[in-house]
Amino acid sequence: MTVEHVRKPDWLKIKLNTNEQYTGLKKMMREKKLHTVCEEAKCPNIHECWAVRRTATFMILGSVCTRACRFCAVQTGLPTELDLVEPERVAESVEQMGLKHVVITAVARDDLKDGGASVFAETVRAVRRRNPFCSVEVLPSDMNGEYENLKILMDARPDILNHNIETVKRLTPKVRARATYERSLEFLRRSKEINPNIPTKSSIMIGLGETREEIMEAMDDLRANNVDIITIGQYLQPTKQHLKVQKYWSPQEFNELKEIAMQKGFSHCEAGPLVRSSYHADEQVNAIKMNV
């Protein structure tokens, strides 16, 4: 049964903050012609991250995605942009911001033979050249499930490989486009096989109609494929054209899921209504270093 309207609870209220740090960071992004998933995906934490924590998740390879996932607000279409100078602009921005940890994600580029892996790898290297003490987390698509594409990226030795399964197995065909649950798990498993020393991470959204048992199953599947970090957040409908929220999970339920995740052997779990894949990513990399 489809729930037409579910009232948004008080704990999902977002505090806006448009101070000088927020406006300054936004101006820099526009001047350097850079995209962020914070803006493109309408992330609810943008004001906290930009105005308070001064962190951002860079989205490379343009702003047009070749996939039309039913939860995502990023524009879908046929990309025309492939900017080979983009890695240097990202690296320069990281330097100007003085970041200690940076997350680099991208739209899915199924139109490119390597899925964008070479530009991803060069961005990691460019950031390292300018910012030798900055840790780098990458959040790619499944790159069509091609082993060579993944190896190109892993050879750049990111500090964390993050790839999201997004939802539970049963809901994957409904929620994601051109991506499969099994292929994402394989992508994560192969990442660890290529370099066992690089931590892996994945994220799921809840509130799409999954059951508690299915969330447990997803956790077990991730652990079976040696995933170290998991983030769990509430799905929020970005526009009327996207999937409707079926349930708002309470902060207490998120705390319970976090406890269960840690019991299952994850090195770190970030869980909460406003948690997103890159939320407090700087703290996550520090936490996993302490567990190594």
Annotated binding site for [4Fe-4S] cluster: 38, 43, 49, 65, 69, 72, 278
**Contact of 201 with 191, CB cutoff 8 Å:** no
- How far apart (Å, rounded) are the C-alpha atoms in residues 236 and 244? 8
**Contact of 157 with 49, CB cutoff 8 Å:** no
**Contact of 134 with 101, CB cutoff 8 Å:** yes
- HSE, side-chain direction, 13 A CA sphere, residue 1: 3
What residue type is assigned to position 182 of the chain?
A: E
Instruction: Looking at the chain, list the stretches that DSSP marks H as alpha helix, in order from N- to C-terminal side.
Output: 20-31, 37-40, 46-47, 86-97, 117-130, 147-154, 172-175, 181-194, 212-224, 251-263, 281-291
